[in-house]
Structure 1
């Protein structure tokens, strides 16, 4: 898996086309994104005001990951195209890591939507060549409410022992 600093996208691939067509740019946690919507309505949240809701496109390609991070608002992930996406969630140390597989609905439990409650550690990785998803956050996303897991933290040690360590270290 690659860090945000070394995004691998094969020229001429479907992922490269999506990056160009959707105007995606590198995201600090890994992958590429573009904000689609930021509500003009504001709500009091997290000691300030936030947009009522925000929505982004988010693309991960083979070898990339969304490293463990925490958002202080609820987040809804929707799968749109490509291979499946594994979304990992963990409320905190001592709690089990839950894996939700986003993709077309099937009898194995795969669904196109998953919710990450506010304050839950989360990470993601594509299963195939790429996965295009949408993330909707309410109250709206603000980088002030985003915490990327610090590899030297106690939480990082716990998550390394429970899931793929590359999701901690990039």
Structure 2
């Protein structure tokens, strides 16, 4: 099933893990503190069992995760003040799932599927640019948020950035 989705949606490997494809980039540009950016972007993003979205942050832009298909996904968020949230992205609101989750600009985020696979959409405003994308080192995250060391290390991207 996952291979078919990757093929039919023309998904490619993402640096944080999983697969993605940009599906929309607004032609309208806005001025930000980091330069001119598209007003908004959207992607498909897919994770399968055993994969995860490594800890990352998008500087200067909010990201909205939208559930599309598959099993629920745990989205882990560590805010600047150290507050941890782990909402479950999914369709069954009677079980506490949320069909969409907002990640404010600059918040550390990681994700893991809770079943065979999860297909989501992510919209970013102002639009996503890899220049605004950070994959922090585990040591730096743990030094800033030691209370969450185990979770931070579990989803840290291996290797040099």
* Pairwise same-fold verdict (TM > 0.5): yes
Is structure 2 residue 74 aligned with structure 1 residue 86? yes
Q: 2:139 aligns with which of 152, 156, 168?
A: 152
Is structure 2 residue 99 aligned with structure 1 residue 112? yes
Structure 1: unaligned runs, 5 residues or longer: 1-13
Comparing 18-27 with 94-103, greater Cα deviation is found at 94-103
Is structure 2 residue 21 aligned with structure 1 residue 37? no
Q: CA deviation at 1:169?
A: 4.3
Q: CA deviation at 1:149?
A: 1.5
> What is the alpha-carbon distance in structure 2 between the residues aligned to residue 116 and residue 47 of structure 1?
19
> What is the alpha-carbon distance in structure 1 between the residues aligned to residue 126 and residue 149 of structure 2?
32
**Change over 3 Å in CA distance of 1:128–1:164 after alignment to 2:** farther
Q: 1:95 aligns with which of 82, 89, 105?
A: 82
SS of equivalent to 1:165 = helix
Q: CA deviation at 1:162?
A: 5.3
* 1:28-59 residue CA offsets vs partner (Å, 9 max, x unmatched): 00000000000100000133100000000000
Is structure 2 residue 23 aligned with structure 1 residue 28? no
**Change over 3 Å in CA distance of 1:61–1:53 after alignment to 2:** same
Q: How big is the alpha-carbon RMSD for the aligned residues of Structure 1 and Structure 2?
A: 1.5
> What is the alpha-carbon distance in structure 2 between the residues aligned to residue 161 and residue 150 of structure 1?
12
Match of 1:74 in 2: 62
> What is the alpha-carbon distance in structure 2 between the residues aligned to residue 47 and residue 83 of structure 1?
36
> What is the alpha-carbon distance in structure 2 between the residues aligned to residue 130 and residue 96 of structure 1?
27
TM-score normalised by L of structure 2: 0.90
> What is the alpha-carbon distance in structure 1 between the residues aligned to residue 142 and residue 111 of structure 2?
15
TM-score normalised by L of structure 1: 0.85
Structure 2: unaligned runs, 5 residues or longer: none
